[in-house]
């Protein structure tokens, strides 16, 4: 009898566990933020909704295809300048009051400008979403800019540039290095703008930028959180549907000419205590090849894996070799961003030990690349890199802002909702041989820019 009862208990327990697993699986899929829903307004505004009902919060964001890549010569940083001015009020709202209203209603707001876009967002309780849409749609059409607000804000931007770049020797140097890498491409200009351009801004420059780029047909709204497209559509139509279509400039197909020899930027700065080594290799992004065109954009996923395996700042081959084994560096990593409107770049950064010369680092990096290509990709390293990339994606879905941010980057660079998650299949199909193929193709010193920054000649 006890055996029968024990067996029955086990059967019931297993059944409950099974039901629990099914429930967890169903809930996880039911709440999957990747079930993207889309619609468009008649005025051209595109809307993407990312439902996630785990908390009664919504992140409301509007993204414009208007970044530093779109700026004319002599007006670098004007996209960022207008971002600041977008908080200076409308016909109905006083300067600075937008953020105050958001805060009074328990929300958070901010904005950011990058190479390919400018974006604005508010994170609020769901019942405050209509108010956020009213505020945001108002400043798309009714921004009021006055010189009394413009002049002080330009000084704020100049101070921002000073603190971020001008007083930091490494940042100053990296700004020059990127411009050396892209001398004829807008990506070679700092997003915040060159100091001389900022100093010469006029109020009309921001008005012109606003009039040219801020239109519903040049904008994408991304909503994430406790909302569905069915709920959102009436609200979006109410607050954004009446905005008028405006002619906006076509985005330029900017390219940097190919070159067949390495470029080296060598600089001594007496403020530098520890020298640094940079090497920037030209590479395609997911949207544009080196020098233009779309060929080899299919290499983007393999390049992501290459950067993860070779350059991870804690487990990568460079770190293991130069920091742990040879102990000639304090930091070593490589970065690659696949998501950009223009071509990409594989960027290597090494901070040597104080008594190690930059020439030693140069030789060591070249040796590691040679060895990596000759030996191929270790199976464990390959599996670990795949797991890491997939885990990063899962963690990102737990943060509403990161979910929106990643999607916004993709859409502004030229991607669409249908292909947003295709990278997972590309990652599944990827082989170690694919990583070595792109390493051979893009670790080409003749298509690189090397930056050597030191405090004195002896450190070279």
Residues designated catalytic: 83
Closest to 401 measured CA to CA, from 29, 216, 124, 138 = 124
435's tokens: 């990583």
Alpha-carbon distance of 329 to 333, in angstroms, equals 11
Task: Please answer whether residues 396 and 410 qualify as being in contact, where contact means their C-beta atoms are separated by less than 8 angstroms.
Answer: no
Give, as one character, the DSSP assignment of residue 445: G
- What's the helix, strand, coil split of the chain in %, to 5? 50, 15, 30
Alpha-carbon distance of 300 to 339, in angstroms, equals 9
Q: Which contacts qualify for 17-26: CB closer than 8 Å, 24 or more apart?
A: none
Alpha-carbon distance of 176 to 186, in angstroms, equals 13
Phi, psi of 148 (to 5 degrees): -65, -25
Alpha-carbon distance of 432 to 375, in angstroms, equals 11
C-alpha radius of gyration, the chain, whole number: 25
Alpha-carbon distance of 332 to 279, in angstroms, equals 12
448's tokens: 């690189």
Run of H or E residues at 137 = helix 129-141
Q: Residue 16, exposed/middle/buried by CB under 10 A (0-12, 13-18, 19+)?
A: exposed
Q: Number of C-alpha atoms within 13 angstroms, CB side, residue 204? A: 0
Cα 240–chain centre separation: 26
Task: Please answer whether residues 407 and 416 qualify as being in contact, where contact means their C-beta atoms are separated by less than 8 angstroms.
Answer: no
Alpha-carbon distance of 171 to 120, in angstroms, equals 26
């Amino acid at each position: 009898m006890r055996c029968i009862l024990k067996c029955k208990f086990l059967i019931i327990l297993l059944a409950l566990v099974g039901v629990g697993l099914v429930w967890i699986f169903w809930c996880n899929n039911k709440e999957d933020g990747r079930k993207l829903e889309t619609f468009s307004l008649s005025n051209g505004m595109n809307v993407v909704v990312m439902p996630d009902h785990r908390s009664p919060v919504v992140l409301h964001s509007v993204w414009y295809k208007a970044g530093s890549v779109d700026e004319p010569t002599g007006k670098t940083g004007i996209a960022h300048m207008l971002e600041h001015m977008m908080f200076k009020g409308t016909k109905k709202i006083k300067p600075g009051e937008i953020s105050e209203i958001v805060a009074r209603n328990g929300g958070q707001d901010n904005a950011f400008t990058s190479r390919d876009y400018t974006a604005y967002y508010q994170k609020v309780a769901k019942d405050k979403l209509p108010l956020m849409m009213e505020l945001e749609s108002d400043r798309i059409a009714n921004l009021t800019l006055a010189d009394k607000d413009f002049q002080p804000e330009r000084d704020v931007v100049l101070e921002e540039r000073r603190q971020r770049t001008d007083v930091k020797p490494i940042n100053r140097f990296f700004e020059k290095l990127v411009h050396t890498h892209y001398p004829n491409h807008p990506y070679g200009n700092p997003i915040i703008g060159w100091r001389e351009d900022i100093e010469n801004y006029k109020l009309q420059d921001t008005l012109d930028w606003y009039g040219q780029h801020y239109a519903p047909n040049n904008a994408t709204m991304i909503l994430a959180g406790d909302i569905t497209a069915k709920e959102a559509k009436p609200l979006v139509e109410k607050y954004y549907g009446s905005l008028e279509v405006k002619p906006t400039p076509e985005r330029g197909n900017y390219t940097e000419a190919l070159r067949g020899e390495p470029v080296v930027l060598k600089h001594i700065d007496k403020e530098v205590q520890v020298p640094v080594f940079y090497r920037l290799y030209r590479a395609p992004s997911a949207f544009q090849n080196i020098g233009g065109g779309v060929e080899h954009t299919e290499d983007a996923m393999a390049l992501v894996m290459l950067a993860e395996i070779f350059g991870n700042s804690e487990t990568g081959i460079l770190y293991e070799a130069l920091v742990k084994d040879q102990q000639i560096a304090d930091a070593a990593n490589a970065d690659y961003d696949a998501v950009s409107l223009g071509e990409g770049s594989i960027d290597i950064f090494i901070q040597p030990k104080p008594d190690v010369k930059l020439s030693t680092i140069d030789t060591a990096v070249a040796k590691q690349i040679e060895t990596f290509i000759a030996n191929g990709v270790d199976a464990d390293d390959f599996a670990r890199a795949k797991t890491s990339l997939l885990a990063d994606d899962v963690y990102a879905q737990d943060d509403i802002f990161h979910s929106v941010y990643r999607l916004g980057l993709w859409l502004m660079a030229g991607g669409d909702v249908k292909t947003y998650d295709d990278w997972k299949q590309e990652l599944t199909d990827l082989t170690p041989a694919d990583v070595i193929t792109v390493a051979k193709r893009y670790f080409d010193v003749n298509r690189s820019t090397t930056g050597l920054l030191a405090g004195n000649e002896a450190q070279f």
